[in-house]
Amino acid sequence: MTEFKSTERKDLRERAILVGILLPDGRYNPEDPLDEIRGLAKTAGLVVVGSLLQKRQQVDIATVVGSGKVEELQGLCEAQEADLVVVDHDLSPSQGRNLEKALGVKVIDRTEVILDIFATHAQTNEARLQVELAQLDYSLPRLKRMWTHLSRYKGGIGVRGPGEKQLETDRRLVEGRIQDLKAKLHKIQARKEREVAAREAVPTVSLVGYTNAGKSTLMNALTGADVLIEDKLFATLDTRTRRWPFAGGGHVLLSDTVGFIRDLPHSLVASFKATLEEASQADLLLHVVDASSPEAEAQIQAVNSVLEEIGLLGHPTILVLNKADRVPDRSFLDVLRAHHDESIVVSAAAGDGLDRLEQAVREALNESALDAEVETAVGNGRVLSYLAQHAMIRGRRYSDDDRVTVDCRLPRRCLGYLAEHGVDVRTDGQRMYA
């Protein structure tokens, strides 16, 4: 019966029903609480054929939504010939199983949709390995819980059943693959670090921000690059770095990064940490915001919490309020600007405000680097090669007592390292970009 139906259908994409649970403390778009999960479903290539919302004090332990809603959902699935149900909430393995049993269709949660999108969008070898690592990290505890659940039945008759053995085999396979992936990623990242170190000592700036905020559009507008832009979530998964020539002279290196989202699955944050850590090498972050979204403020907070997780919250940052051309009401921008003093309004698509952005970046970079004289022993190879990698060296003076003084432009973030190594640093506070 079902088979007959599906061969009759012209559109072979999977048909999905979205389920949202409105909890008292949940942060949703009040006009359309399913807005984001609908965007995720669309990006994952699903056709949304229906949706269902339930207001609750807390999620139902067994089935997330209440039993009445489960019945309603089952009717909806049949009427719409749905292939799957997407729940905008994390599901425990047993909640997923219970719902699947009751509904007779596949049930997936928000994290699985995000992991799926990442898996289809990953293009470089590194991104693919990171996604696979995240997927295995996500499935490992589920694997355990799934088998534990089974072996509880088997354990009842007092035997170490095949479930237990199977679990061991599966777990060992998965754990082995995880180690293998980590080793491969480690190699790639070590190579990248060498590449970064070998770069000329030009200031670097990283774009960060909520997914779909317009980071890649801004990257293209500033550097003339040709990075993929799509009205989809997570269009960019691979970091790219391009030269951003300043209209007023000089240039910096600008990197695009993977977008953030509220409640980014932990396994993903962990495996993309290395990619995001490129941002921590940057002298400055541009936090790009879709200022035309009613969720702008909540998205800023979500990005800040990921930044905090990867230790970047205190990093020098400029907030870029993008899509100004689409903001329906100016007063909306004023509210955002009042909350965030270091912010610049732009439209990456229309090319508005980019000159002001350049000026703000110059000023921030001036503040983030110092003219310095660093004195150390001629034989201190470690510190001298550190300086060669991180500072813009202008000259060296040698003295009779085997000491060298390096005259350079030094990023502020290097002061900690030099202090740790007991090196003497003198600064006169002159600015490089006037």
Ligand X SMILES: Nc1nc2c(ncn2[C@@H]2O[C@H](COP(=O)(O)OP(=O)(O)OP(=O)(O)O)[C@@H](O)[C@H]2O)c(=O)[nH]1
Could you tell me how many residues of this chain bind Mg ion (CB under 5 A)?
A: 4
Nearer to ligand X (CB atom), residue 69 or residue 287: 287
User: According to the annotation, is 323 in a ligand binding site?
Assistant: yes
Nearer to ligand X (CB atom), residue 62 or residue 333: 333
Site for Mg ion in 158-217 (CB under 5 A): 215-216
Partner touching 211 among Mg ion, ligand X, none, CB below 5 to 8 Å by kind: ligand X
Partner touching 110 among ligand X, Mg ion, none, CB below 5 to 8 Å by kind: none
- 271 touching Mg ion, by CB under 5 A: no
User: According to the annotation, is 324 in a ligand binding site?
Assistant: yes
The distance of Cα 72 from the centroid of its chain, to the nearest Å, equals 36
Nearer to Mg ion (CB atom), residue 162 or residue 224: 224
User: According to the annotation, is 248 in a ligand binding site?
Assistant: no
Report the nearest approach of ligand X to the CB of residue 348 (Å).
4
User: According to the annotation, is 39 in a ligand binding site?
Assistant: no
Report the nearest approach of ligand X to the CB of residue 265 (Å).
15
- 115 touching Mg ion, by CB under 5 A: no
- Kindly write down the DSSP assignment for every residue of 65-101, as one continuous string: S-HHHHHHHHHHHHHHT-SEEEESS---HHHHHHHHH
**What is the 8-class DSSP label of residue 380?**
-
User: The tokens of 123 are what?
Assistant: 């293009």
User: According to the annotation, is 236 in a ligand binding site?
Assistant: yes
Rounded Cα distance, 26 and 42, in Å: 22
What residues form DSSP beta bridges with 242?
Answer: 254
Considering just the CA atoms, what is the radius of gyration of the chain in Å? 26
User: According to the annotation, is 213 in a ligand binding site?
Assistant: yes
User: According to the annotation, is 256 in a ligand binding site?
Assistant: yes
Rounded Cα distance, 153 and 146, in Å: 12
SS3 426: strand
User: The tokens of 422 are what?
Assistant: 């007991």
Stretch that binds Mg ion, among 50-58, 71-79, 234-242, 325-333 (CB under 5 A): 234-242
Interface positions with ligand X (CB under 6 A): 209, 211-217, 229-231, 233-236, 259, 322-323, 325-326, 347-349
- 235 touching Mg ion, by CB under 5 A: yes
Residue 119's region, left for phi above 0, alpha for psi from -120 to 50, else beta, is: alpha
User: The tokens of 156 are what?
Assistant: 């009842």
Which of 231, 227, 295, 290 lies closest to 256 in space, CA to CA? 227
Report the nearest approach of ligand X to the CB of residue 299 (Å).
11
Nearer to ligand X (CB atom), residue 138 or residue 234: 234
Rounded Cα distance, 207 and 350, in Å: 18
Nearer to ligand X (CB atom), residue 303 or residue 414: 303
**Share in percent of the chain as helix, strand, coil (round to 5):** 45, 20, 30
Annotated binding site for GTP: 209-216, 234-238, 256-259, 322-325
Q: Which residues bind Mg ion (CB under 5 A)?
A: 215-216, 235-236
Annotated binding site: 209-216, 234-238, 256-259, 322-325
